[in-house]
Amino acid sequence: MATRYGIAMTSAPDSGVPLGRITTPRLVYTVIAVCTAAAAILRFYQLARPGYLLGLTEYDDGVNFGNALRLVTGVIPYRDFVSVQPPGTTLLMAPVALVAKVTGTAWGLAIARLLTAAADTACVAILGLLVRHRGPVAAGIACGIYAVYPDALGAAHTFMLEPWLNLFCLLGALACFDGDQLTARPGRLAWGGAAFGFAVAVKLWAVVPLAVLALLLLRRPRHLGLLAAGATAGLAVPLLPFLIMAPGGLIKDVIITQFDRADAGYGSPLPRLADIAGLAQFPRLSMSVVAVIVLAVSALVVLGYLAACRAAARLPAALDWYALIGVVAVIAMLLWPFGYWSHYGAVAGPFIALVLALPAGLLRPAEYRGQIVSLLAVSAAAALLIVGAGLNQFGAVSRLTASTTLAPAADRLIPAGACVVTDYSSLVVSADRFFSTAAHCPDMVDSYGTLLASTNGRKAAEPQEMSALAALWQAQFAAAAYVWLEWGDQGRIPWTPALYTYFTSHFRLLGLIDGPGGKDFPEGGLYVRRAPAGLGHPRPRT
């Protein structure tokens, strides 16, 4: 027992029995169900907007799903083509990729989008289950915040990795925590570790929440060993086959390229913090105002924890420390100096929801009537903010412009089964022109990842590296009947004079099919070979 603030305080017992046991469990589950339903409405309504289910919306989803499409045809990631992410989601989507061989790749990607929206919705329910022992207010805040969190909603609009990473990390946390305390049950720790391990196989960032959990188990070596064994198994099962088939390619593509890429510097971290905090929804805010708001919210979280712990006469439990250490560690990871996109911030969503929800669960008016005013105030403020944010997000989704649907144009211009080379895989996936029946058609899926892997993670590479990459693209073009380029290829293709001369002498513009960058870049569009493609070209490793 310790004494702070003039009152006796105790830590949560080691038995795993949560403090403040729920007295109205039906209300808790009702709150979780309502928040989950609201999350589902936002996410599936987003996919119901014109073109968002079958159209072109992102670069990454075409790459992520394209990896699975290649795998089910016997083309191996890391050996036959570059993939800069671990194989977790490639394996998860392999059954969908098999279905896509019948339905077409556009509908296959649509199924992957629906499954991703469902996975992110499930995260809301799991968050509620993780904090349900703290009562309906804590459950409502945790579920409500993630349901309307802008970056989570953005990541769930198509097949991105972050919703799946969050799903498996939350499943792991749910298995490892027994109320407020880490479980002492060996089976649950092992299964929780396996879920975290598979999350690492989805995206390496899952190492951070796994490390936070391991830190909390340092004083329990046996339990730490169970967690580690489970995590090793969860990572090894999806990773080992590819490590056996292509050890050098996997290590280079997934680890070396990503860490070399992280060496690229960037400016102020405030834009990223604004995005993570949900303030990017208010573009008129200056960065100085963003800094003040972020500091104020951080101070309120700390003061809220202190006040709640004092009111409940207890120290933070293991679950509190997981949330507090986790939110700091994950945000620090997102501030690591390399490229940032808003869907990255979704990884911080569960931890932000936990640190804001858990202190409210320490207020127990049934035992301390003096806390009822505080609880009512917290509940009202949280409800207003969550509902307001939800309405704002619903309005933002309603204003989404129609996404481009490419299949009709592709049906007119590109024969089924033709060999199409592209720097933007989402174009051919959405147009159902990903698969080719032509011999020796190149296997490249991720042109940007290929650029990074060819230049050790740098877009500004040495001349010899760019020369080798230009030769690779010339080999791609030599095997192609059609070339489909994004408007302004974002530097993914090294247009050396020799490569440009080769391309313009062998291909002519067939059509300007709308792409994500508009028509300001004359090199974008669909090109067709001036003469029949040659035979006997070697199959390049892309």
Residue 542 inside a domain? The answer is: no
Whether 8 and 87 share a structural domain: yes
Q: What is the pLDDT of residue 170?
A: 98
**Phi–psi pair at 59, nearest 5 degrees:** -85, -45
Domain that holds residue 486: 407-529
| Listed residues 350, 366, 398: the one ending a domain | 398
Q: Do 344 and 162 touch, CB atoms closer than 8 A?
A: yes
Q: Residue 106, CB half-sphere, CA atoms under 13 Å: how many?
A: 20
Which amino acid is located at 145 in the chain?
A: I
Residue 265 inside a domain? The answer is: yes
| Listed residues 337, 367, 398: the one ending a domain | 398
Q: Helices 349-357 and 105-131, interaxial angle, to 10°?
A: 20
Looking at residue 531, the DSSP 8-state letter turns out to be: S
Q: Do 161 and 120 touch, CB atoms closer than 8 A?
A: no
| Listed residues 377, 398, 419: the one ending a domain | 398
What is the tens place of the pLDDT at every residue in 317-374?
999 999 999 999 999 999 886 778 889 999 999 999 999 999 888 776 655 555 666 6
Residue 355 inside a domain? The answer is: yes
Residue 302 inside a domain? The answer is: yes
* Residue stretches of the chain with pLDDT short of 70: 1-24, 260-267, 312, 337, 364-375, 457-463, 488-490, 513-524, 531-542
Residue 472 inside a domain? The answer is: yes
Residue 535 inside a domain? The answer is: no
Q: Do 75 and 443 touch, CB atoms closer than 8 A?
A: yes
What is the tens place of the pLDDT at every residue in 174-223?
999 999 999 999 999 999 999 999 999 999 999 999 999 999 999 999 99
Q: What is the pLDDT of residue 18?
A: 43
Whether 375 and 411 share a structural domain: no
Q: Furthest-apart CA pair in the chain: how many Å?
A: 87
Residue 541 inside a domain? The answer is: no
Q: What is the pLDDT of residue 161?
A: 97
**Using CA atoms, how far apart are residues 397 and 389, in angstroms rounded to an integer?**
12
Whether 354 and 467 share a structural domain: no
Residue 534 inside a domain? The answer is: no
Per-residue burial over 132-148, b if 16 or more Cβ lie within 10 Å, else e, is: bbbbbbbbbbbbbbbbb
Whether 502 and 380 share a structural domain: no
Q: What is the pLDDT of residue 306?
A: 82
Against a cut of 0.85, is the pTM above it? yes
Whether 369 and 391 share a structural domain: yes
Residue 381 exposed, middle or buried by CB count within 10 Å (0-12, 13-18, 19+): exposed
Whether 86 and 135 share a structural domain: yes
Whether 373 and 509 share a structural domain: no
CA 259 to chain centre: 18
Whether 217 and 363 share a structural domain: yes
Whether 102 and 156 share a structural domain: yes
Whether 308 and 203 share a structural domain: yes
User: Around Cβ 123, how many Cβ atoms within 10 Å?
Assistant: 31
Partner residues linked to 529 by β-bridges: 507
- The number of folded domains in the chain is 2
Q: What is the pLDDT of residue 461?
A: 59
Whether 462 and 391 share a structural domain: no
Whether 199 and 301 share a structural domain: yes
**Using CA atoms, how far apart are residues 361 and 51, in angstroms rounded to an integer?**
42
**Using CA atoms, how far apart are residues 144 and 136, in angstroms rounded to an integer?**
11
Percent of the chain with pLDDT over 70: 85
Q: Do 116 and 158 touch, CB atoms closer than 8 A?
A: yes
